[in-house]
Amino acid sequence: MADWSPAAYLRYTDERSRPFGELVARVGHDPASILDLGCGPGHLTPVLRGRWPAASFVGLDASPAMIERARATDPGGRYELADVRDHAAGRGPVREADLVISNATLQWVPGHRELLPALAATARQTFAFSVPGNHDAPSHLLLRGVAAREPYAAAVGPVERRVVGDPADYLEILAGTGWEVDAWETTYTHLLGGEDPVLRWISATGAQPVLHALDAHDAGHGTGLRARFDAELGAALRDAYPSRPYGTPLAFRRVFVVATRRG
């Protein structure tokens, strides 16, 4: 997949940041060191520093563009290019920290549930993460449905349904390996503004693999599939998420886990 766009991702900063603040609020220890897996453009680092100003911090992300943006925004911080799977295997630039935390990243990691015990083992005190649980919401059903039609299907191929666990799934995985686990879910109703806000929302995150494939096809074949796809998906999303005089409501489910070492 092509690299991420920090500017597009940050378009709805407040809405994307709120779950992280609620995750941080449920961490019961005061860590001396923090490792953020999938730190993105560094926009959530102030949340961690605000809660634990004395802690050392390292942010990891697999996107060069995100790491570049984080370093530019926070030149005094430490941000490293690294993959979550490498960290789980002990090959990352930082082996462990008191708090290992991740926001909206693990759903992109193939087989992330199988990696959870290894990821948790790198936390000396607490392992905390949140993942979006909206992959069967109308936004993603329509994304997969439109992408499965021709002429898009030939350019895109099968669109993966990125499955995350329910709170009980994650509790069983981590409690079964000895952690004390707090797991829950929340459905936010975000009020989005502007033209085609739901299309812009998913275009910065969940739709990225599809859009990158269409862009690559257009560049290689001189076609205009991306523009056609945006128009078709945008129309479907407007029907599924009708605009109101006060904005466009978007229901968004999130799953949260805070695992703490016993004793």
H helices present in 26-80, as ranges: 45-51, 64-73
Long-range contacts of 237-242 (CB under 8 A, 24+ apart): 237/138, 237/139, 237/142, 237/196, 237/198, 237/199, 238/196, 238/198, 240/138, 240/139, 240/142, 240/198, 241/138, 241/139, 241/198
CA R_g for the chain: 19
Which amino acid belongs to residue 101? Answer: I
CATH architecture of 6-261: 3-Layer(aba) Sandwich (3.40)
Distance in angstroms (rounded) separating the CA atoms of residues 23 and 201: 21
The sheet that has 179-192: what strands, in order across it?
79-81, 56-61, 33-37, 97-103, 123-132, 248-261, 179-192
Could you check whether the bond before residue 151 is cis, i.e. omega within 30 degrees of 0? yes
Q: What is the pLDDT of residue 135?
A: 87
Report pTM: 0.88
Query: What is the block-wise mean pLDDT of the chain (263 residues), using blocks of 10 residues?
Result: 53 78 96 96 93 97 93 95 95 95 92 96 98 92 95 89 88 96 96 93 85 93 96 97 96 96 85
Distance in angstroms (rounded) separating the CA atoms of residues 237 and 229: 12
Distance in angstroms (rounded) separating the CA atoms of residues 245 and 237: 17
Distance in angstroms (rounded) separating the CA atoms of residues 78 and 86: 18
Distance in angstroms (rounded) separating the CA atoms of residues 123 and 31: 10
Is 43:59 a contact under the CB 8 Å cutoff? no
Give, in order, the Cα–Cα distances in Å from 52 to each of 103, 241, 252. 17, 39, 28
Q: What is the pLDDT of residue 91?
A: 92
- For the chain, the structural domain boundaries read 6-261
Q: What is the pLDDT of residue 2?
A: 52
